[in-house]
Structure 1
Amino acid sequence: MPELRHVEPKYLQIANHIRDQITNGTLRPGDEVPSERQIAADWSVARPTAARALEALRNQGLVESRQGAGTFVKDQPTARRARERYVRSRQIGRIYAPGEYAVIVSAELVDAPERVVEALRLAPGEQAIRRQRVTHSDTGPVESSVSWLSGELAEMAPLLLVKDRIKIGTIAYVENATGRTAEYASDRVAARLSTDEEAAELGLGDGPHAVLNYRHTVYDTQGNPIEFAESVYPPDRWTFEQDYSVR
């Protein structure tokens, strides 16, 4: 088991560890999660701490308790934030959860829009790689997104311009191709109305519809941007979750 740190309450660290196992596919819908007794033994914590960890997972809608049977992973109909995809990529070499898949709509070299020039710190007029995808689950489309990367990567990482999935994820592929290492990411989230194209991609029908716009920038160890991504999520899908202490 990972060592407990002092920066977060113990129960949240345990809950986040189990959540990562759920989002990376190690624990799948229907699997039983560790019991209070097992968590207490594995993590060397008191039973009330173990109970709070399981309660946090229940509150997030990730697990459900069945009387006399235990606690089990629930089906996950919601799209998850980028953090979980990085966890899956690092641990099991793929970025999508079981039941999810992406269709690459386009992969091309284009003149970078002003917001992309700013996010990637490009020179004015410089080109950028644009990869557009629609992510689906068993229930239909759950995300429409565009990844932007510097056009300078086209030669070193040619698969970025191919309309095929990169199973290990864009960031892991760029790391392997260039030797750069992704260090941290910054997210910005806002609500807005969908465009007609987004409504069609997400199967929302005639619109506009309220959607969540998620802007995500990944930086390397030198603080330089690697990828700027813009994702759009349909209504009624949780795309950002965070647990933290208020004490």
Structure 2
Amino acid sequence: MAFGEQPAYLRVAGDLRQKIFDGVLPPHSRLPSQARIRAEYGVSDTVALEARKILMAEGLVEGRSGSGTYVRELPEPGRIVRAGYRPSGSDGVFRQEQADDQVKGSWESCSEQQEASAAVAARLRLPAGERVMQTRYVFRTDGEPVMLSTSWEPLSLTGRTPVMLPEEGPLGGHGVVERMAAIDLVVDNVLEEIGARPGLAEEMAELGGMAGHCVLVIRRTFCAGGLPVETADIVLPADRYRPAYHLPVR
């Protein structure tokens, strides 16, 4: 193969991808069969199969049992607006995750005590195995799942205080900043790092997608005077939502 020349399966996948983007293969239309791809492009069965696998991995097509492979209707990505701290109200936790006044959201949560994994302990600057409160959330907009979040708070800070459970007690649902202030910890910094990876099967089952499709992961950590008081992983489908940041200019 000459320098710069693509392997046959990438060339075939690229041509089919362009046909999808151009509307030649519109949403819900059937992708050409393996035999038709083989004949049209003059390639082997192996090349045709690999090209179809690429389009499926990219989320452009989906298999339907007993029917074939079809072009997916790709949604226009919505915006998840993020702007740092927001005052808590009746939907404070949702505001903390998605700072958009136009969105009315709801969530479900479940909290339990855990031993911090090595990764979580490092983020919270704790010894591995230290006890933390883990809280899992499913966030919805208009009843549809939007994102997942798992947060961890050191019980060495919150244990045996009124804010030990994020969703219960006098400040339940009020968000990290207000809850920590109640135990004399002033949150003055938040770090967010964004990455991407294939979605896990259990994540996509909750979010309504196919395992392996790309998700964005926002790794957020709240700090008070340099001390991490909460860290969280926020997961959202990359093809349906994109985070948008409003940052002050000083």
Instruction: Tell me the TM-score normalised to structure 1 length.
Output: 0.58
Q: 2:105 aligns with which of 76, 100, 107?
A: 100
CA RMSD of aligned residues (A): 2.9
Cα displacement (A) at 1:92: 8.3
Matches within 5 A, 1:66-215: 77-81=78-82, 83=84, 86-89=85-88, 94-95=92-93, 96=95, 97=101, 98-104=103-109, 106-138=110-142, 140-152=144-156, 153-156=158-161, 157-160=163-166, 162=168, 166-176=172-182, 178-204=183-209, 206-215=210-219
Answer yes or no: is the 8 Å Cα contact 2:80–2:242 preserved in 1. yes
Distance across 2 between alignment mates of 1:173 and 1:243: 24
Distance across 2 between alignment mates of 1:207 and 1:227: 28
Distance 1:141 1:161, change over 3 A: closer
* Count of residues paired in the alignment: 163
Distance across 1 between alignment mates of 2:197 and 2:134: 22
Instruction: Tell me the TM-score normalised to structure 2 length.
Output: 0.58
Answer yes or no: is the 8 Å Cα contact 1:108–1:161 preserved in 2. no
Distance across 2 between alignment mates of 1:200 and 1:143: 12
Identical counterparts, % of pairs: 25
Q: Does 1:228 align with 2:231?
A: yes
* Residue identity in the other structure for 2:245: E
* Residue identity in the other structure for 1:155: R
Secondary structure of the structure 1 residue equivalent to 2:80 = coil
* Residue identity in the other structure for 1:227: E
Answer yes or no: is the 8 Å Cα contact 1:79–1:142 preserved in 2. no
Secondary structure of the structure 1 residue equivalent to 2:197 = strand
Distance across 1 between alignment mates of 2:117 and 2:203: 18
Secondary structure of the structure 1 residue equivalent to 2:120 = helix
Distance across 1 between alignment mates of 2:207 and 2:245: 21
User: Unpaired segments of 5 or more residues in structure 2?
Assistant: 1-76, 96-100
Q: Render the CA deviation track for 1:161-196: whole Å, top value 9, x for unaligned.
A: 759x933213312221x1111001111101111111
Distance across 1 between alignment mates of 2:234 and 2:153: 15
Secondary structure of the structure 2 residue equivalent to 1:129 = strand
Cα displacement (A) at 1:158: 3.1
Q: 2:222 aligns with which of 204, 218, 222?
A: 218
Larger radius of gyration: 2
Q: Render the CA deviation track for 1:46-99: whole Å, top value 9, x for unaligned.
A: xxxxxxxxxxxxxxxxxxxxxxxxxxxxxx95323262xx2243x888343542
